[in-house]
Chain A
Amino acid sequence: MWAYIVQRIVIMVPLVVGITIINFAFFNLAPGDPLDRIYFSNIETATSETPGQRARLRKLYGLDKPMPVRYLIWIRELAQGNLGRSMVYTRPVLELVVERLPATLELTVSALLISTTVGVIFGVVSALRQYSMLDYVLTAGALFGISIPTFFFGLIMLYVFAFVWPIFPAFGMASVLGEFSILDNLHHLALPALVLSLDGTAGISRYTRTAMLEVLSADYVRTARAKGLSDRLVIGRHAFRNALLPLLTITTLHLPGLFGGVFVIETVFSWPGMGQFGIDSVRNLDYQVLMGVTLFATILVILANLLADILYAVVDPRIRVTD
């Protein structure tokens, strides 16, 4: 078991290195001079440009060095926990990211919990009552969920539950006035987490339904029924467990989408996390921050994949043996 985990971690290392290279290349090979994009982008600095200024700035920001050298410098600093400084906030990127990470994690983890529990329950119920009214309603609901853009669903929920029937707050993580309380926080969390979870819930319930239907018609389930086991035992012990296995993969496949949704949802609900911060940094083309946020988001996805791999091995002993 431990050998398997170590092996998985070793595989991750080249992946992380590869991703930093690709990121770096994306930002640096894009057409245009970064100085034009950052420094000379507003009229004041563009018109007051003095002769030697460009070369001096180039040297100051290290842009005079060739790209591979710049990459190595970036990696060297990264190894020491230095992600550079934000040009807009003039503070270390790491500090800025760490400040905002908890808010985003709270939102994404809640959404993931809702997606998996509700998705699995809907999927199983749908499969057990195939072609019933309930199945149709849930199937149609899932189709609705994968077809509606997250931000539009967010706006509708905001309109309905914050204005027409104001039972939830419209923005932020907590009330401006008054002390912090968990209840108040949860009250603010409910709408954005629900909206963010919709896509995953729909995908997972569709997937669970198919997997469940497939398992229910498998030979070993027929055998279990033939032995005279009760429905509860057949479904709970024989069918459900096996349908659940690939769900781990499906859930991890949803993670990048979840992080994509965060950028939009945090904007709609003014949730002060990495998503909003990221969007602002894109608007300002704050390079160091963009590299930092990308790196964090990628590492979160990779860690989640690792966790899924390990859980998979725990649940399914065949993987440990064959690998």
Chain B
Amino acid sequence: MSNQVTTQGTAATGDLSPGRSKSVSWWPRFRRHRGALIGFGVLMLFSMGSIFAPWIAPDRDRIDLTIVSQPPSFAHILGTDLGGRDVFARVLYGGRVSLSVGLVAAAVASVIGTLIGLLSGYLGGKMDNLLMRFTELISTLPNFFIILILVTITGPSVINIMMVIGVLGWTGKARLIRGQVLLVRELDYVTAARAIGGGPRRLLFVHILPAVVPFVVVGAMLSIAGAIITEASLSFLGLGVRPPIPTWGNMITRAQDLTILQDFPWLWLSPGIAIFLTVMALNFVGDGLRDSMDPRSKKN
């Protein structure tokens, strides 16, 4: 679906008026990407819901044993859990942890990956070889298992989970950015900048970095999605953020009990659908950004 929309969108805006910088020109194309816009809307809705959770649904932890395990109704639109707590409120609050873990972990991974990719691609030679071997090493590790272990050792706090996921999630980015740097550094404008005496720091951060930013941004979108799924899996296994703080993952943990899985589906379906919609929205936005920011994807 989205592909066709993009193709038409690019065709219509393909000839950008001269003089407009690349950083401005992506927006019209993004706007025509219907899936990306809907995805963006979903993300905004979920973020707002989480940020304003205390005002929308203040009773996150109020236990009410007279209304235990009720299916969705007007009073509790997503039902109540085994302690009579409102599931809707807990999903809103759960979004706070899940979304912020996604954002911070992706930011950490993007910074490390971009730096290593830039250095590796720009310096070349021995340094490049060393950095890439190190990247290969980290990417061969059983990532998820190592995350489980490190989070358990350092203690399952939100900060630790963000850091561990970020610190282990940069290898793909480093490779991608390195590849782009190898292409960009041979371009005429970089040679020109070097010829007029630009130092390495200036070349890297003023001339090369802006050219690879689209790849960093798109990669970050997919990383947020990945980190949200990783955090949810951790919490689902009971090794992530501990109750009573709700996260989308730990709300689903109870479904490991087959009676709950069978008899109270609203308890685990709502947070699961929240994760699914968020990740899908991020994928759509990532696709839309890639199509509108990367000049080479015009062809397809």
Q: Which A residues fall within an 8 A CB radius of B?
A: 14-15, 18-19, 22-23, 26-27, 30-32, 37, 131, 136, 139-140, 143-144, 146-152, 155-156, 158-159, 163, 170-171, 210, 213, 256, 259-261, 263-264, 267-268, 278-279, 282-283, 285, 290, 293-294, 297-298, 301-302, 305
Contacts and interface: CB of A to CB of B under 8 A. Distances in A.
A150 B233 contact: yes
Given A30-B154, A163-B262, A267-B256, A143 B233 contact: no
Interface string B206-249: 00000000000000000001000100110011110000000000
Given A27-B153, A155-B252, 15 more contacts: A22-B137, A37-B153, A140-B1, A149-B272, A149-B279, A151-B233, A152-B232, A152-B268, A152-B272, A256-B140, A261-B144, A279-B148, A282-B152, A290-B149, A297-B145
A259 B276 CA distance: 21
B279 A18 contact: no
Nearest to B228: A149
Contacts of A27: 149, 153
A36 to B, nearest CB: 11
A264 B142 CA distance: 13
Interface of B: 1, 3-4, 133, 136-146, 148-150, 152-154, 225, 229, 232-233, 236-239, 252, 255-256, 258, 261-262, 265, 268, 272, 275-276, 279-280, 283-284, 300
A163 B260 CA distance: 12
A285 B141 contact: no
B239 A283 contact: yes
B146 A294 contact: yes
Nearest to B236: A151
A281 to B, nearest CB: 9
29 contacts: A27-B149, A31-B153, A140-B1, A143-B284, A147-B225, A147-B276, A147-B280, A149-B229, A149-B275, A152-B268, A159-B261, A159-B265, A163-B262, A213-B300, A256-B139, A256-B140, A256-B141, A261-B144, A263-B148, A264-B236, A268-B256, A279-B148, A282-B145, A282-B148, A282-B149, A283-B238, A294-B146, A298-B142, A302-B140
Contacts of B300: 210, 213
A15 B261 contact: no
Given A149-B275, A159-B261, A163-B262, A297 B150 contact: no
B237 A170 contact: no
Most buried by B among A139, A155, A261: A155
Contacts of B279: 147-149
Contact of A139 (B1, B256, B265): B1
A42 to B, nearest CB: 16
A302 B143 CA distance: 14
A261 B144 CA distance: 8
B142 A256 contact: yes
Given A159-B261, A159-B262, A263-B237, A22 B138 contact: yes
A159 B262 CA distance: 6
Contact of B232 (A136, A149, A210): A149
Contacts of A18: 133, 137
A37 B152 CA distance: 10
B280 A143 contact: yes
B237 A15 contact: no
A210 B287 CA distance: 14
Contacts of B137: 15, 18-19, 22
B152 A294 contact: no
B141 A298 contact: yes
Contacts of B280: 143-144, 147
Contacts of B144: 259-261, 263
A225 B248 CA distance: 53
Contacts of A159: 261-262, 265
Nearest to A151: B236
Contacts of B140: 15, 19, 256, 298, 301-302, 305
A15 B300 CA distance: 38
A46 B121 CA distance: 52
Contacts of B236: 151, 264
B141 A151 contact: no
Give the top 10 A-B pairs by smallest Cβ distance, nearest first. Answer: A260-B144, A297-B142, A147-B280, A152-B272, A30-B153, A147-B279, A163-B262, A18-B137, A149-B229, A282-B148
B272 A259 contact: no
A308 B133 CA distance: 18
B237 A264 contact: yes
A155 B239 contact: no
Contact of B261 (A155, A264, A282, A301): A155
B2 to A, nearest CB: 8
A217 B106 CA distance: 36
A194 B62 CA distance: 40
A141 B4 CA distance: 16
A14 to B, nearest CB: 8
Most buried by B among A22, A139, A148, A149: A149
A262 to B, nearest CB: 9
